[in-house]
Amino acid sequence: MNKTDQNGPGTKPRRQYDETYKCHAVELSLRGDRTVKAVAKELGIAPGALYEWRGKYAGRPGDNRPTPRSLEEAAEEIADLRAEVIRMREREAILKKAMGMLSEPPASGMPRSKR
């Protein structure tokens, strides 16, 4: 039995897409000028497939940074993120000290007036 007999008459074999094609399709869908359904129709793929590719190849929602394309870019991004973590920890320590100073009651209360 050949594949057309299994899938029914007139069916096409399943298309295979390489990773660069999928990434390009995801980039087109993330631009925001067209809907995912419109991009999928233009490319001749199912919208469900494009949604799956977006989940796999796109960044997290709200993350506007592009995904690194090479090992050097990834290493540079990691260095930037580590520097940002250090800055955030320094800010956190400063804020903790400030909150501690502001929340302490005065040691002896109000000074008394001398007569």
pLDDT digits (tens, 9 = 90+) for 71-80: 888 889 899 9
Locate the domains of the chain by residue range. Answer: 16-63, 68-103
Q: What is the pTM of this model?
A: 0.43
CA–CA separation, 8 and 28 (whole Å): 33
Query: 64 — phi, psi (to 5°)?
Result: -90, 0
Phi and psi at residue 23, in whole multiples of 5°? -60, -40
Mean pLDDT of the chain: 80
**Which residues are CB-contacts of 3 (< 8 A; sequence separation ≥ 6)?**
11, 13
**9: confidence class by pLDDT, cuts 50, 70, 90:** confident
> How far apart, in whole angstroms, are the C-alpha atoms of residue 78 and residue 84?
10
